[in-house]
Each structure stands twice: as structure tokens, then as C-alpha cells.
Amino acid sequence: MTREQHLEFCTRCLSRKFDPNYGTVCGLTGKIASFEKECPDFKVDESVKIKIDNETSLSINEVKSKLSSDVYERIRLEQNLLGAVLSGILVSVICAILWGVFTVATEFQISYMAILVGAGVGYTMRKVGKGVDQIFGFFGAGISLFGCLLGNFLSIIGFIAIANDLGYFETLFLFDYSQTLSVMQETFDVRDLIFYSIAIVTGYKLAMRSITEQDISDLNKNAR
């Protein structure tokens, strides 16, 4: 155990004392703690109120270290990867359509719509999928990138339709899709890369379940 993990016990123990050189130490041995997992002499000081963080999300490795294998496997069983992926794709398409509509309406390429895609995809996948495995993050990142590319493409179709005095769906039907890559490259801007990167990172982070210290405490209590 690390010093920080030991102190989670020591600062709440009736046998604690303060040493000017080492900080909180054991009053029984006069030394810093060296136990593993739990201290046999631990006695809770009920007067010490522990503030549990309910804001900061823990990393997967931190969650694994703070939960028993049984509890961790139980929350993994709550995961729904298929539901998360399907809902993420649906939201990415909706966001891409909104991207295209706003871009054509304003006649301006709105690159920061990419952030909306990443946030929308990631948040939806988190709510539906309840995923703690990293694969949810990978899918969140990939689907977010797909939504960004689709939004950009739909915007291009809108501008082509206006330039040729055609209907939007008519343009979608007549467009030579073998030219998609070259058309996307012609309209590419360095700023697109920046916003795409933000969307990918956002989709990755938000797609996974957020577990805080408070959640850890509640899960451990329910497991008893």
C-alpha cells in the first residue's frame, strides 16, 4: 500500500499521533504505517469527518484498486456495449445533420460543431452503456470522428446544391461519391483538425462511466 492509502486509515484512527518529522504516525509503534490492506489495531475515531470527493472521476486503474474483484465484475455486468454503440451512432447522425443545417444556413463552416458531436456521442454512450471498459472510450472516439466527417460532408452537399440550384436530396442522389475524398480534402482546414481532435478526446472520455470516490464508497457499502 502507498503512504496515501495508509493515511486513509491512520487519519481516522484513535491511535494516531503527530510526528514533526513524518506527520501522522501510529501511536502504538511511533512509526509510519506499514500494514497491507488493513491494520489489525485500527480503531475508528468517530469524531473525524471524512469528506468524500463526488466530483472528480477516477481512472480505470484507480477504480480497480479501490474495489474488490467481485464488485468490479458486478458493475462490468451492467455494461451495454451494443446499446452504447447504436445510440452513439444515432446521436452522431443527428448532430451531423444539425451541423449541415447550421453551416448551410449561415454560409459559414462551423468547425466548433465538432465539439457538440463529441459531447453528444460520449454523453449518450455513457448513459446508455454504463461502460467501465476502455473499449467504450475507443468506440466513443471513433463514432465522434465519424459524426464530424459526416457533418462536414453534409455541409459540402448543401453548398453544392445551392451553387447548382438543386434540391438537397437531389444533390445527394446525383453526387459522384467516388469524389468524396478529394472534395473533403479541398475543403479541409487546419482548424478542422484541431476541433476533430477535441471531439475525439471528448467522445473518448465521456463515453465511459464516471466513477468518483463517493461512488466507490457507496458500492463498497452495498457489497457488505
Sign of the CA dihedral running 173, 177, 178, 180: positive
Which tens digit of pLDDT belongs to each residue from 143-202? 999 999 999 999 999 999 988 988 988 999 999 888 888 888 887 777 788 889 999 999
Whether 71 maps to a domain, the answer reads: no
pLDDT cut 70: percent of the chain above it: 88
103 and 143, same domain (yes or no): yes
Integer Cα distance of 136 and 126 in angstroms: 8
* Residues 107 and 196 both lie in one domain: yes
User: In terms of domains, do 24 and 134 share one?
Assistant: no
State the pLDDT at residue 98. 92
- Up-side HSE of residue 30: CA atoms within 13 Å toward CB? 0
**Residue 209 CB neighbours (<10 A):** 21
With 0.85 as the threshold, say if the pTM is over it.
no
Domain holding 12, by residue range, is 1-50
Residues 45 and 114 in one domain: no
Q: What is the pLDDT of residues 18-41, one digit of tens each?
A: 888 888 888 888 888 888 877 888
Please identify which residue in the block is written with the cell numbers 478529394: 182
pLDDT in tens, 62-84: 777 777 777 778 888 889 999 99
Same domain for 92 and 31: no
Is residue 157 located within the same domain as residue 199?
yes
Task: Give the number of domains in the chain.
Answer: 2
Burial class (CB in 10 A: 0-12, 13-18, 19+), 43: exposed
CB-CB neighbours of 2 under 10 Å: 8
- Write out the three cell numbers for 103: 453551416
pLDDT at 46: 74
Identify the three-state secondary structure at position 186: helix
| Average pLDDT for the chain | 85
Q: Is the pLDDT of residue 223 over 80?
A: no
Q: Report if residue 108 sits inside a domain.
A: yes
Residue 224 lies in a domain: no
Closest Cα to residue 48, out of 80, 73, 24, 20? 24
